[in-house]
Structure 1
Amino acid sequence: MQPTSPPTRTIAIVGRPNVGKSAIFNRLLRRRLAIVHDEPGVTRDRIVAEATWNDDVFTLIDTGGIGLMDRAREGDEIAAAARVQVEAALDDAAAVILVVDTQVGVVPLDEEVARLLRARARPVIVAANKADHPRHDDAADEFVRLGFPVFPVSALHSRGFEDLMEVLLKHLPPPAPAETAAAPLVVTVAGRPNAGKSSYINRMLRRERLVVSSIPGTTRDSIEVPFTVGTGPQARRYLLVDTAGMRPAGRVDSAVEKFSLIRVEEAIHRSDLVVLIFDALQGPTRQDKRIADLVLEARRGCILVVNKWDLAGKMKQDEYREALRRELPFLAFAPLHFISAKTGEGVAGTIESFDRVASQISMTFTTGVLNRVLRDVFAKKSPPSVKGHRLKLYYATQVGVRPLRLKMFVNDPDLVVPAYRKFLESRVRAKFGLEGAPLVFLFTAREREE
């Protein structure tokens, strides 16, 4: 299981804090993917996304960490890890946008970043940001001394990007021949702070792609990471989404964290399946249940992963499994894995579950087979009587995938009691071998035709 090399048509956005890197990233992407806030160092990981400019497709990387150089030298754990991410982004990039602030002018850190980029021998374009009006364009001339072409731009007002991108895109290699590969499976990794989400993704990628720290809440953006297993037509393509850890509602104490939580919910809704990470040392908690509720409400495929199992001591998997099923009975359909992101134990098995769940959330049933299965289920256990009336099934048909949706035509939907609905679901799952795929029953009244 070896990931492919990073994309070559890649542009990295770098610069010191608060110059507008994430705002430019969002402007080029034409959607708000990176968190934009006036708190320095908001972007800690690099954020990767596919972008299109005048029909030219490329990969865009928003970086954090260059502005944390001084803190990294002073031993700041997160700052040092973020600096590693900048280095990794520059390794991947074919060209670089260096973002500076026209309203402040050249500062020593701008010059230090420029020296770092010259040593990398990558094509660099300076985006002199916050030139919100043409009268501000002259202020951009000061940045010529950094040694790179300079373009005055305004992320706020979308000024100047046509000229900048026209020059920058010429530095990218030609696009590869068009492929007929299917869209990647979007896998969101969610869980409480410090459960090991980023470590889990790094283990799959076999490189330090995401900032990993013992300090809870290191990841604040939802980070998208392309990931491929295999090569050629048989390659399996994924887009891994690392999310910020969700803290209890009462402990969300900054605008950045609140926006991060919104991004977690958005990431879950945009995903095909969710990997829910638990900390083996703490067991399932109320916070885990809150995240699981979001997955259930979004009706996404789900895989449960208990991380740090190498530290669990004498705890038995059966005991933890029972505790998890007791706290989260509504996710009993999800496959459960015990892993160690630190050692790699069990991680490969979770990737196999990706493919298994992906096939199941898109499964289709013929109407004939579906109705035979349901008739057998009703015959083996009749629905309970409700006020002298009993639920009758006339026929059923599948009306959707992702999630699987079955429309059930019955005499009276009010006769469906929760216990029988649960029984139906368990029997249909068993008959079709469904694991990790949500199943939705839609009961509709219909008069039986004579």
Structure 2
Amino acid sequence: MEVQDANRIVAIVGRPNVGKSALFNRIVGRRISIVHEQVGVTRDRVSAEAEHNGHHFELIDTGGLGHFDNQVADDAITASTEAQAEIAIADAGLILFVVDITVGLVPLDEEVARLLHHSGRPVLLLANKADNPQREDQIIDFEGLGFPAFPVSAIQNRGIEPLLASITQQLPEIKNQSVENPLRVAIVGRPNAGKSSYINRLLRSDRVIVSDVPGTTRDSIEIPFAIGSGPSARHYQLIDTAGVQKDTRSRGAVDWFSNLRTEKSIERADVVVLMIDAEVGPTSRDKKIAAKIIEAERGCLLLVNKWDLSEEADQEITQTRYLPALRETLPFLNFAPVLFVSAKSGYNMKRTIEAIDYVAAQTHTEITTGVLNRVIQKAVENLPPPMTKGRRLKIYYATQSGSNPIYFRIFVNNPDLKRANWIAYLKNRLRDAFGLEGAPIFLKLVPRSRDK
């Protein structure tokens, strides 16, 4: 696994609620970090590729440094958030230190400044919320912190161009660097299914916050990594999503946005990994996520996590016995391969990347028209379509019209004569012939006039 070049990592740090996430979204150009007035909304490091005038760099948004309001020093989430920010500082080649120009200098800003001076990293101080020229004069309050200062407004897009120019001056060696096209893998599941633990085990680092508290990950965390090096390296972008909450209306706007972000992450992914808690088993929330995966037409892998704990709780449980119940609960995903893993012990972890690669390859399968039609003809001979009001669906020919997702156009006498159970049979015959495990397939029946 390759280590990200620190010279191209830019970390955004600062005390809570100074506008770090809004600045992150402004620089990246799309809404990735959740922006909300509630203190401590960003609890993990959120990263994304950013670009300015041909200069590419990875931008990292961190949770707020320091304790605020009713947070206490031994709070597990707060302590883990601070550790995440400190790791980001250690990884970064450049740090953007964000303060609130409307509030002025506060003691916590001074504490963060001391931490940054101690890091030895180059730092740019950003006095955010300078929404008008009059406020820019207040930047003098921060000159004593000892960093080059920029008045900016993430919301109003003020001062962003000079800031980007300064960032690229700090990172001259990355000009015209090519951007990889990684395989995007979304890790989804209900809260506390073990998604973050799985990623940490996979990457062998504390990349995201891991806690027994359900709902710890509220942002969708994007994590680039590679296996191998040079031209043969395989590049990935892991997306660790917030667990889908049971009733978002009762949990507030932040969790509603997180659930929406999860749905968008599924849509943007090449492969979706749905993680099931082996102890709990598939739930109604897992079924809702499965429906979202189908709706987004994405390749899918099912990971049953915490398998070691499930075996300890029930000595008679076996994977062979567990699988039918899983398939019965998630019939939408009966095409998805299933892998039993333990992020805690490492059981089967090496096989997960192989399985992800396999699903990705299946979604890009291309089938020649001649072979496709021979398989369909054989399926029709073995089980003709049922009669409907004295008429039978007749198939003339078929072609593959797309991959990832896989679409087949089937020209027939009358699409209204199709029956769902026979279409399901035909899909199964196509899978028997071509594999397509983990890849959703879609049949579009198109009317064609009978040849004269």
TM range (shorter): over 0.9
Q: Work out which of the residue numbers 295, 309, 312 in structure 2 matches 1:311.
A: 309
Secondary structure of 2:7 counterpart: coil
Alignment correspondent of 1:22? 21
- Report if aligned partners of 2:49, 2:56 keep a CA contact under 8 Å in 1: yes
User: Offset of 1:83 from its aligned partner?
Assistant: 1.4
Q: Which amino acid is 2:293 matched to?
A: V
Alignment correspondent of 1:388? 390
Q: Which amino acid is 1:223 matched to?
A: I
Alignment correspondent of 1:75? 74
- Report if aligned partners of 2:275, 2:302 keep a CA contact under 8 Å in 1: yes
Alignment correspondent of 2:265? 267
Alignment correspondent of 1:330? 332
- Report if aligned partners of 1:29, 1:52 keep a CA contact under 8 Å in 2: yes
The answer to whether 1:229 aligns with 2:227 is yes
Q: Work out which of the residue numbers 372, 379, 393 in structure 2 matches 1:370.
A: 372
Write the distance in 1 (CA, Å) between the matches of 2:259 and 2:217: 11
Write the distance in 1 (CA, Å) between the matches of 2:399 and 2:153: 54
Secondary structure of 1:99 counterpart: strand
- Report if aligned partners of 1:10, 1:172 keep a CA contact under 8 Å in 2: no
The answer to whether 1:212 aligns with 2:225 is no
Alignment correspondent of 1:99? 98
- Report if aligned partners of 2:302, 2:339 keep a CA contact under 8 Å in 1: yes
User: Offset of 1:440 from its aligned partner?
Assistant: 0.4
Write the distance in 1 (CA, Å) between the matches of 2:177 and 2:27: 23
Q: Work out which of the residue numbers 164, 184, 187 in structure 1 matches 2:185.
A: 187
Alignment of 1:195-210 (within 5 A): 195-210=193-208
Alignment of 1:105-184 (within 5 A): 105-175=104-174, 178=177, 183-184=181-182
Q: CA RMSD in A?
A: 1.6
User: Offset of 1:369 from its aligned partner?
Assistant: 1.2
- Report if aligned partners of 1:377, 1:424 keep a CA contact under 8 Å in 2: yes
- Report if aligned partners of 1:69, 1:79 keep a CA contact under 8 Å in 2: no
- Report if aligned partners of 2:365, 2:436 keep a CA contact under 8 Å in 1: no
- Report if aligned partners of 1:301, 1:437 keep a CA contact under 8 Å in 2: yes
User: Offset of 1:167 from its aligned partner?
Assistant: 2.0
User: Offset of 1:55 from its aligned partner?
Assistant: 2.5
Alignment correspondent of 2:39? 40
The answer to whether 1:404 aligns with 2:406 is yes
Alignment correspondent of 2:245? 247
User: Offset of 1:389 from its aligned partner?
Assistant: 1.1
Gap change, CA 1:209 and 1:56, over 3 Å in 2: same
Write the distance in 2 (CA, Å) between the matches of 1:96 and 1:391: 65
Write the distance in 1 (CA, Å) between the matches of 2:198 and 2:64: 22
The answer to whether 1:348 aligns with 2:350 is yes
Write the distance in 2 (CA, Å) between the matches of 1:273 and 1:346: 19
- Report if aligned partners of 1:252, 1:258 keep a CA contact under 8 Å in 2: no
Gap change, CA 1:367 and 1:359, over 3 Å in 2: same
Write the distance in 2 (CA, Å) between the matches of 1:251 and 1:79: 25
Write the distance in 1 (CA, Å) between the matches of 2:419 and 2:6: 52
The answer to whether 1:8 aligns with 2:10 is no
Gap change, CA 1:120 and 1:362, over 3 Å in 2: same
- Report if aligned partners of 1:334, 1:435 keep a CA contact under 8 Å in 2: yes
The alignment's TM-score, normalised by the length of structure 1, stands at 0.96
The answer to whether 1:320 aligns with 2:322 is yes
Alignment correspondent of 2:421? 419
User: Offset of 1:382 from its aligned partner?
Assistant: 1.0
User: Offset of 1:43 from its aligned partner?
Assistant: 0.2
User: Offset of 1:98 from its aligned partner?
Assistant: 0.3
Alignment correspondent of 1:288? 286
Q: Which amino acid is 1:288 matched to?
A: D
Write the distance in 1 (CA, Å) between the matches of 2:135 and 2:159: 12
Secondary structure of 1:434 counterpart: coil
Q: Which amino acid is 1:353 matched to?
A: A
- Which structure 1 segments of 5+ residues have no match? none
Alignment correspondent of 1:87? 86
Alignment correspondent of 2:49? 50
Residues 34-65 of structure 1, C-alpha deviations (whole Å, 9 max, x = no match): 10000000000000100112232111000004
- Report if aligned partners of 2:401, 2:408 keep a CA contact under 8 Å in 1: yes
Gap change, CA 1:176 and 1:321, over 3 Å in 2: farther
Write the distance in 2 (CA, Å) between the matches of 1:359 and 1:111: 52
- Report if aligned partners of 1:195, 1:307 keep a CA contact under 8 Å in 2: yes
Worse-matched range after superposition: 40-49 or 242-251? 242-251
The answer to whether 1:379 aligns with 2:390 is no
User: Offset of 1:3 from its aligned partner?
Assistant: 4.2
- Report if aligned partners of 1:305, 1:339 keep a CA contact under 8 Å in 2: yes
Write the distance in 2 (CA, Å) between the matches of 1:61 and 1:406: 41
User: Offset of 1:197 from its aligned partner?
Assistant: 0.5
User: Offset of 1:249 from its aligned partner?
Assistant: 2.5
Write the distance in 2 (CA, Å) between the matches of 1:215 and 1:204: 21
Q: Which amino acid is 2:232 matched to?
A: Q
The answer to whether 1:428 aligns with 2:427 is no
- Report if aligned partners of 2:16, 2:68 keep a CA contact under 8 Å in 1: no
Write the distance in 1 (CA, Å) between the matches of 2:277 and 2:44: 22
Aligned residues with identical type, % of pairs:
52
Q: Which amino acid is 1:117 matched to?
A: L
User: Offset of 1:438 from its aligned partner?
Assistant: 0.4
Write the distance in 2 (CA, Å) between the matches of 1:93 and 1:178: 18
User: Offset of 1:154 from its aligned partner?
Assistant: 0.7
